Amino acid sequence: MRFITKKSIPRRTFLKGVGATFALPLLDAMIPAATASNKISAIGVRRLGYVFMPMGCDESRWTPESEGTLDKLSPILSSLEPVRDKLTVFTNMELRNAYPGSHATSNSSFLSAAKAKVTESSDYYLGTTADQVAAQQIGQQTQLPSLELAMDLLQTVGQCDNGYACVYQNNLSWSSPTTPLPAEAHPRLVFENLFGEGGTPEERRAALRKRASLLDSIADDMNRLKREVGARDRARVSEYLDSIREVERRIQKAETDTNDNPLPDLDRPMGVPAMYADHARLMFDLQLLAFQGDITRITTFQIARETSNRSYPEIGVSDPHHPLSHHGDDPQKIARMAKINTFHVSLFAEYLQKLQNTPEGNGSLLDNVLLLYGSGIGNPNVHNHTNLPIIVAGGAAGGMKGNRHFRYDKPTPLANLHLTLLDKVGVRLDSFGDSNGKIDELFEPLSL
pLDDT digits (tens, 9 = 90+) for 93-140: 999 999 988 899 999 999 999 999 999 888 999 999 999 999 999 998
Q: What is the mean pLDDT of the chain?
A: 88
> What is the mean pLDDT of the segment spanning 362-378?
96
Supply the pLDDT for residue 216.
Answer: 77
- Name the residue range of residue 362's domain: 14-442
Q: What is the H or E stretch that residue 336 is in?
A: helix 331-356
- Residue 58 placed within a domain: yes
Q: Alpha-carbon torsion 313, 319, 323, 324, what sign?
A: negative
Supply the pLDDT for residue 205.
Answer: 59
Supply the pLDDT for residue 260.
Answer: 57
> What is the mean pLDDT of the segment spanning 50-62?
97
Supply the pLDDT for residue 433.
Answer: 97
Supply the pLDDT for residue 373.
Answer: 98
Let me know if 242 is exposed, middle or buried by CB neighbors in 10 A (0-12, 13-18, 19+): exposed
257 vs 239 pLDDT, higher one: 239
Supply the pLDDT for residue 228.
Answer: 84
- Residue 279 placed within a domain: yes
Percent of the chain with pLDDT over 70: 87
Question: Residue 297: pLDDT above 50?
Answer: yes
Helix (H, G, I), strand (E, B) or coil at 164: strand
Supply the pLDDT for residue 28.
Answer: 84
pLDDT digits (tens, 9 = 90+) for 72-92: 999 999 999 999 999 999 999
pLDDT digits (tens, 9 = 90+) for 191-227: 988 987 655 656 655 655 555 677 877 877 888 888 8
Domain at 382, CATH number = 3.40.720.10
Q: How far apart are CA 189 and CA 142, in angstroms?
A: 19
Number of domains in the chain: 1
Beta bridge partners of 69: 404
Preceding amide of 100 cis, omega within 30: yes
Q: Is this structure's pTM higher than 0.85?
A: yes
- Residue 6 placed within a domain: no
**Helical H runs in 173-314?**
187-195, 201-209, 219-228, 231-260, 276-292
Question: Residue 378: pLDDT above 80?
Answer: yes
- Residue 2 placed within a domain: no
Supply the pLDDT for residue 266.
Answer: 44
- Residue 211 placed within a domain: yes
- Residue 420 placed within a domain: yes
- Residue 447 placed within a domain: no
> What is the mean pLDDT of the segment spanning 277-298?
96
Per-residue burial over 283-301, b if 16 or more Cβ lie within 10 Å, else e, is bbbbbbbbbbbbbbbbbbb
Q: How confident is the model at residue 24 (pLDDT cuts 50, 70, 90)?
A: confident
- Residue 229 placed within a domain: yes
